[in-house]
Amino acid sequence: MVERAAALLATAHHAVVLTGAGVSAESGIPTFRGEGGLWTKYDPVKVSSIDSFLADPASYWRVSKERGTVALSARPNAGHDALAAMEAAGHLVAVVTQNTDGLHQVSGSRRVIELHGSGRTVRCLECGKLEPRADVQARLEVEMPPRCPNCGGTFLKPTVVLFGEPMPTDAINEAFDLARQADVMLVVGSSLVVYPAADVPLVAIRSGARLIVINAEPTPFDRFAAVVIHGRSGEVLPEIARLIGA
């Protein structure tokens, strides 16, 4: 199966990858779903919706503080590195990601489309000031919720898309344009149950792309795929990169 995936990618002219939380699991960042996922610990609507954030930013930040510490210290793993190498070698056009951790960019991927925003910056909803997440993270030790250093407001929100918020239009449009042009669509580390992100491979298939799924567990899209590999992305992707000489 790894050989078949490598053969498809080696001959592709416009291969695009969609990544999910699973690609960062081996960097120590918990996924939402699947074994050990965050949803087994928290109620998603309570911790990750815009309504609950606006009602009580301190509660949001108490949970986010723990996740931020993990995400800010995480390093890209061999899976991120393999995708960056495939792009550099001309075998991948772009990375469309549901992740907000910024690890694709750290590992050297150049064209990264973030469908759910970035957790690396924080915006004050009152005055609009943008700050690095690391600066806000440091202040969480002394103030909860954190205050804006510009206006003193207490509605500082990471620039991620919370439940109930609109998706970033430019990123969505770019992702679907890429999907329509794709001849190979690779999906890595996503449960493929979050929409509209899961529509990206669907649009690619409808436009004639071959689908490759690499995930620790079965996904609802496995039956549409030319190749399905149930495994860890940090092991499977470097093997594919090696086979195609990336």
- Which residues are near ligand NAD by CB under 6 A? 20-22, 24-26, 29, 31-34, 37, 98-101, 116, 189-191, 194, 215-217, 232-234
- Least spacing, CB of residue 146 vs ligand NAD, in Å: 20
User: Of 25 and 246, which has the nearer Cβ to ligand NAD?
Assistant: 25
Tokens linked to 108: 């050297």
- Least spacing, CB of residue 197 vs ligand NAD, in Å: 6
| Pair 20, 189: CB distance under 8 Å | yes
> What is the rounded distance in angstroms from the CA atom of residue 112 to the CA atom of residue 110?
6
Question: Which residue of the chain is nearest ligand NAD when measured via CB?
Answer: 22
Catalytic residue among 80, 91, 104, 116: 116
> What is the H or E stretch that residue 188 is in?
strand 184-188
Tokens linked to 29: 């960042």
User: Of 148 and 162, which has the nearer Cβ to ligand NAD?
Assistant: 162
- Least spacing, CB of residue 188 vs ligand NAD, in Å: 6
User: Of 116 and 210, which has the nearer Cβ to ligand NAD?
Assistant: 116
Q: Is 116 a catalytic residue?
A: yes
- Least spacing, CB of residue 231 vs ligand NAD, in Å: 7
Compute CA 237 distance to the chain's CA centroid, rounded to the nearest angstrom. Answer: 16
Give me the amino acid identity at 11.
Answer: T
Query: Pairing between strand 184-188 and 15-19?
Result: parallel
User: Of 153 and 231, which has the nearer Cβ to ligand NAD?
Assistant: 231
Instruction: Say what angle helices 169-181 and 199-206 make with each other, to 10 degrees.
Output: 30
> What is the rounded distance in angstroms from the CA atom of residue 90 to the CA atom of residue 185?
15
* Residue 17, SS3 per DSSP: strand
Q: Show which residues are catalytic.
A: 116
